[in-house]
Structure 1
Amino acid sequence: MTGTERVALVTGASQGLGAAIAHRLAADGHPVALLARRVPELDAVARAIRDEGGRAISVVADVTRADQMESAVERVVSEWGSLDILVSNAGVTRDALIHRMTDEAWFTVVNTHLTGAFFAARAAQRPMVERRYGRIVFIGSTSSAGWRGQTNYSAAKAGLQGMTRTLAVELGRFGITVNLVSPGHIDSELTRGTAERLGVDYAEIAAERIASNAIKRVGRPADVANAVSFFAGEEASYVTGQILNVSGKPSIV
């Protein structure tokens, strides 16, 4: 590798935001390890990156399993000699009003978004501390401010903000920055899938979001990937513990 290349690991990289982030980091010149559970989709994204001239490998793992995240980080370090950038993006939704939300819906969402991010960060910080360099970027959501039917999701994303600020304080002395990108409404497989499960016309949801935005469009995965690219780069070496909303309107949190 050259002196400007940094090895990246992106969780939840088989589609949507994760795939867009992986493509962007590869375009920035970084070798990228793509992590998810869905093997065919994951391999397809890795192949697409390689077809574009980038370097990518697939790492099959479940972010809610600490042992699998430790093994995933070990594989990346073995493959490329280091792990310099972690983007914790893996997530799911199980929306329901509180009186209808099951234990399974609560734990599935909280364990994936919050516990999974913790397992990923704990595993990744070890090689970063050794090298005195690292970039950790969590993917949050403006739903952390509260959103009807998303007690589980909003709580998990709010928790990520506290984790971001705490790890920034703990890890800064080792040359590791920790930041969070907080998307608003993004046109992705996750949001379209949520609309379908709820029996709601996605076009209506998008129109509502556009009406409330200062920038009159919905977000795109590339908008989030661009913000991640900044936090992952050398230019952000003095930026840590920050929450960056990518929502098309002024921040409310």
Structure 2
Amino acid sequence: LLLFVYESDASPIDTFDLGPPNTDVTVHSAISTAELPNTTNTDLAHVMKLEQQPLTTCWPGRVLYLMASNFSDKQKWVACLEAAVKSIQRKDTIVRTGMFSKTLLELEGSRRLELNCSFALCKELVLLGADEGLFCVNLYHGTHAIITQLTGFKCVHQIVYISSLNLIILITGRERSVVTIDKRMIHSRIDQANSAAKEETNPIPHTVIEGIVGCTVMDASKCHGGSYMVVGMADRVLLMKYNSEMKSFCLRKILLTRGITL
């Protein structure tokens, strides 16, 4: 789309690409007063908006507002622009569909797991928390990868990683207790299992945090120089801080709630 001030101008003052790669383009016919607060309501009825929204990057999109001389002209412009954008995007259907659909892992038959959560352990390895336990898969092996079970854990409901301590934290078992694992130990056990061509590792050492039963959700992060964990339970929320001397999370505060914490 080329924009000129006058029909006789030799070059445009601006351009707007209606079909940039890896980008959604949308034509908006209705503009709210919040978007253009300095525009009168009578003029706002004649304004349309073109918007570019990148699909594959975090770069900001672009917005262009246009005002027609009257409402009838605006309707014609909107119809023409929508038709042009639709025609361009139709030719790009295969590329656009491919960006949204990619199968990382297929679990069928005896390999099927009831998955609850996942965590990217590194560029190649992903932890899978399932009703059957804790597993690890190497994505570079594709859909037919051999899944390695990390022995020592029953049902795994949630996986959280706190980088300041290099700890993996799990909600596990029917009792929904909380345990911590040194991330380096997981890597070590997986390497041992792979070198021996085993489908499961030796038992992985872990620490059970005392006093937590029935955890529904939890999270952990570093804040003000300390490492904290928040644990949600049926009727309370626990705030815990990591004690480097005891090498464990210790209770700092209890907040009572009126219902289940999700």
- The structure that is strand-richer by fraction is 2
RCO comparison, higher one (Cα < 8 Å, 6+): 1
Report the structure number with the largest CA radius of gyration.
Answer: 2
- The structure that is helix-richer by fraction is 1
TM band (smaller chain) = under 0.3
